[in-house]
Structure 1
Amino acid sequence: MLQLDSAPALLVVDMQNAFCHKQGSFAKMGMQSDPTAIIPQINNLRSAFRAANIPVFFLRTGYNADYSDRRSRSRGDSVEKLQGLLRGSWDAEILEELTPQSDEHVVEKTRNSGFLRTSLESILKERRVNHLVLTGVGTDVCVESTARDAYQLDFAVTTVSDATGTCNEPDHLAALHALRMFGGTASTAEVIEALQKLPDSRNQ
């Protein structure tokens, strides 16, 4: 049975047009993650966390116009050819159905992990967060990378099995299996149930 630590936070990873929208750059490359099933689950979790006055964070991948801040790729790389994930572009924006609210912090990143060359760790420590609940895409890439790093940085970690996704089910399930060693997984319903069992002091 899932038990949340005293100061959890919800983290929504890369739910952007590039990765999830039918007109996004990754769909054009045949690599789209279908968000249909997980958007309602993420929003259910957001509502539950917000109702409990517990912080919600978003990770968003975006690059400079010349891709100078992106990991070196081969010449003719598809993302760059498509001008994908340029910071400030529609492609890099978070899906409309998940538009962050004014009190939901968005952390920009340029690598798979949300902790590499970002302000995420310092922001979480300032808020005294000790347990990260991860949602978003892709389970086997940015979610897994972020979960592993969070675990190594001594955060408790729970990846939400039905609020994460990737390009295909086998890769999603393989990533969830690997993450059993990095904090473990739980369903949306299990997270909400655990949230309701937190001391009232977290809800004030």
Structure 2
Amino acid sequence: MKNSALIIVDYSNDFVADNGKLTCGLPGQQIENYIIERIEAYNNKQANIFFLMDLHYEENTYHPENKLFPPHNIIDTTGRELYGKVNDIYQNILFNDHVHYLDKTRYDSFCGTPLDIMLRERNITHLEIVGVCTDICVLHTAITAYNLGYSISISHKGVASFNPTGHQWALDHFKNSLGAEVE
């Protein structure tokens, strides 16, 4: 894990909870324990953990997602908080130097964030990516990671989507087009 970082993408109430604004529901809830296992494994070794969270503003007519999806992950709402036990574990580790939380305003966790710079400062060469949605934000994050030269691993136990067809397509794409280790 020395040169590896765990990337947790958009695991928020709005994307996972039953009453979330853009929820993948049960599939997202079913990956919670796996995500917790991975957080604990990285935390126990004091390896880098990055929480990347979608950030939107109420009535922002300029954001391109507004034409595609209902308002979600609005700043200062409970919908934007980490979901369930992942939030609990985050609250217990958030002050550790190896734990990072970054806001993102696009699908891609690298776009407009300091993620790449922070990874390179820490000599990270491998990314383990978990979170939601497999075929949207996880996919766009993985594509940029690949294009930036990172090796990638993604477990089917750690990603979910509201679109089963898109989920399976993305898993195949990670393996066959991005050379990711997919289990």
Relative to the length of structure 2, the TM-score reads: 0.86
| 1:10–1:94 distance in 2 versus 1, CA, 3 Å | same
Summarize the alignment of residues 16-165 of structure 1 with structure 2, pairs less than 5 Å apart. Answer: 16-27=12-23, 32=25, 34-67=27-60, 70-71=63-64, 73-74=66-67, 79-80=70-71, 84-99=72-87, 100=90, 101-102=93-94, 103=96, 104-165=99-160
- CA–CA separation in structure 1 for the residues paired with 2:62 and 2:157: 32
> Which sections of structure 1, spanning at least 5 residues, go unmatched?
188-204
Q: CA deviation at 1:87?
A: 1.2
Give, as a single letter, the amino acid of the residue that structure 1 aligns with 2:133: G
CA contact (8 A) 1:33 1:137 kept: no
Q: Which amino acid aligns with 2:14?
A: A
Q: Hey, which bits of structure 1, 4+ residues long, moved more than 4 A?
A: none
Greater shift, 164-173 or 90-99, is seen at 164-173
Contact (CA 8 Å) 1:158, 1:183: kept in 2 or not? no
Instruction: Give the number of the structure whose alpha-carbon radius of gyration is greater.
Output: 1
Unaligned runs of 5+ in 2: none
Identity among equivalent pairs (%): 24
Q: Displacement, 1:51?
A: 1.4
Q: CA RMSD in A?
A: 2.0
User: How far apart, CA to CA, are the structure 1 residues paired with 2:11 and 2:62?
Assistant: 20
- Report how far residue 23 of structure 1 moved: 1.2
CA distance in 2, matches of 1:47, 1:78: 33
Is the Cα–Cα contact under 8 Å of residues 140 and 166 in structure 1 kept in the other structure?
yes
- Number of aligned pairs? 175
The structure-2 alpha-carbon separation of the partners of 1:72 and 1:16, relative to structure 1 and needing over 3 Å to count, comes to: closer
Out of 86-95 and 144-153, give the one that drifted further.
86-95
Shift of 1:69: 6.3
Counterpart-to-counterpart distance in 1, 2:150 and 2:162? 27
Moved more, 59-68 or 89-98: 59-68
Superimposed CA distance per residue, residues 104-126 of structure 1 (whole angstroms, 9 cap, x where no aligned partner):
21110011000111111111112
Give secondary structure in 1 for the equivalent of 2:28: coil
